[in-house]
Structure 1
Amino acid sequence: MQHQYFISAIGTDSGKTFVSAILVEALKAHYWKPIQAGLPKDTDQVKNLVSNTESVFLKERFCLTAPMSPHAAANIDNININLSDFELPKESQDKNLIVEGAGGLFVPINYGQNGKADYVIDIIGKLSLPLILVCNLYLGSINHTILSLEAIKNRNIKLKGIIFNGESNPESEQIIENYILHQLDSKVLLRIKQEKEISKETVKKYAQQIGW
């Protein structure tokens, strides 16, 4: 069975790159970051965390200079980003593939004079990939998570599952898990603890725990 997933999150610092490395390791998958804004490159970070020798790390479609929202970083670099720029890499069509988004679902990738913007969630729809959503737990995270899940449901995006990342909060997790079970027919794939150090060994440990 081929596994191809888009990785997004409820916020910018939720742990998408760490989770992407875990999934790449678990599936021996190719990895692709369509939009990189600022340094260090997430592609390099994932590559440094993966132990298997089968994964291939693909070139970004856009590599922007400034560490900010893609629409703003693209303006600085005098680059136009359009939804039509994004297609699944041909070399990965029959391979397991992890695609990591930039920021959260509603990070803008462009902004036109007519006031219309495209967002990361539009790239997910364009690529027609199932989504894995990374959810970290903090004051307000229930609201942020369920708002993200509502958008996923309203756009008919297939949710493969969610991954909790960070210090556990059972009461928050129960609310979110109940929502995805009954509203999106999905589940929790993995719970990642608050890790003091992220290493190849940490990645391999969690790669063995994913509940596909």
Structure 2
Amino acid sequence: MISAQLPAQFIIAGIGTEIGKTVVSAILVEALQADYWKPVQSGAADDSDTETVRQLISNPTTQFHPEAYRLSQPLSPHAAADLDGVHIDLNAITLPRTSNALVVELAGGLMVPLNEHELNIDLVQRLGLPIILVSRNYLGSINHTLLSIECCRSRNIPIAGIVFNGPTVTTSESFILTYTTIPCLGRIGQETSLTKDVIRHYANQFTELIGAR
């Protein structure tokens, strides 16, 4: 059952690239037995993030919804679309119909361009779902995390919580949480390999933490 304190449908956004959005998506898909959808996929035509999540979860309930745009090159979506001769039209991207919980994963950070005039954050606004922000500790990550939060707040996009992925830096995380007053939904350690058992382990932790908040 979905915790009353976590929205039934939400968007996984990151403070940048290679932050761990797909790992967090897999964990929350497993924890909630939710459906998964990545509206725009750049690159990894044979090994997409959808396939990665599919290989990492264990529950029999999750449904995987097809991408609205699947682009061949591992570039920013606007550049990948240009190479493929495609124009990403936000009007063509609509939430899949499902009665289940839904995890939506963005392609890159909030300010990544989708076309000449629109960004990921415009897609977030159009979809009308709250976000869960994935942060990772590195030099400059406080700035990137706070900028992402300010971008959302300036557009009245609700943030359901933050997930920290990778090695813990207590001073950075404590400052972010205190300054923003956004709840931490959980932490993911630096794992040497990702398996179904690892995802299930974190999914159980998230279920307990979310249920206890």
Counterpart of 1:24 in structure 2 is 29
* 1:5-29 deviation digits (Å, cap 9, x = unpaired): 1001001100000000000000101
Letter in 2 for 1:14: I
Give 1:125-144 correspondences, 5 Å limit.
125-144=125-144
TM value normalised by structure 1: 0.93
User: What amino acid sits opposite 1:4 in the alignment?
Assistant: Q
Q: Secondary structure at the match of 2:107?
A: coil
Tell me which residue corresponds to 1:98.
103
Partner Cα distance (2:196, 2:179) in 1: 33
2:174 corresponds to: 174
Corresponding residue SS for 1:191: strand
Q: In the alignment, what sits opposite 2:90? A: 83
Aligned-pair distance for 1:66? 0.4
Query: What CA distance in whole angstroms lies between the structure 1 residues aligned with 2:60 and 2:132?
Result: 24
With the length of structure 2 as denominator, give the TM-score of the two structures: 0.92
Q: Which runs of 5+ in 2 are unaligned?
A: none
2-structure distance, mates of 1:190, 1:57:
24
Q: C-alpha displacement at 1:82, in angstroms?
A: 1.7
Where does structure 1 lack aligned partners over 5 or more consecutive residues? Answer: 112-116
SS of match in other structure, 1:103: strand
Distance in 2 between residues matched to 1:165 and 1:180, nearest whole Å: 18
Q: CA deviation at 1:3?
A: 1.1
What's the secondary structure of 1:164's corresponding residue? strand
**In 2, Cα distance between equivalents of 1:73 and 1:62:** 10
Q: Amino acid of the residue matched to residue 162 of structure 1?
A: I
Give the 4+ runs in structure 1 shifted more than 4 A.
none
Q: Deviations over 1:8-60 (max 9, x none)?
A: 10011000000000000001011001000000200000000000011001111
Instruction: Give, in angstroms, the shift of residue 180 of structure 1.
Output: 2.5
Distance in structure 2 (CA, Å) of the matches to 1:165 and 1:141: 12
Could you say which residue in structure 2 is the equivalent of 1:201? 197
1:151-187 CA-partner distances (Å, limit 9, x unpaired): 0111100100000000010000011111221xxxx30
For the pair 1:43 / 2:50, whether they are aligned, the reply is: yes
Per the TM alignment, residue 83 of structure 1 is displaced from its structure 2 partner at its CA by 1.6
Aligned residues: 201
Seq. identity, %: 47
Residue of structure 2 aligned with 1:10, choices 8, 15, 33: 15
Equivalent position amino acid for 1:13 in 2: E
Aligned to 1:191: 187
SS in 2 for 1:107: coil
Task: Provide the aligned C-alpha RMSD in A.
Answer: 1.0
Distance 2:50 2:91 in 1: 22
For residues 159 and 44 of structure 1, what CA distance do their matches in structure 2 show?
A: 27
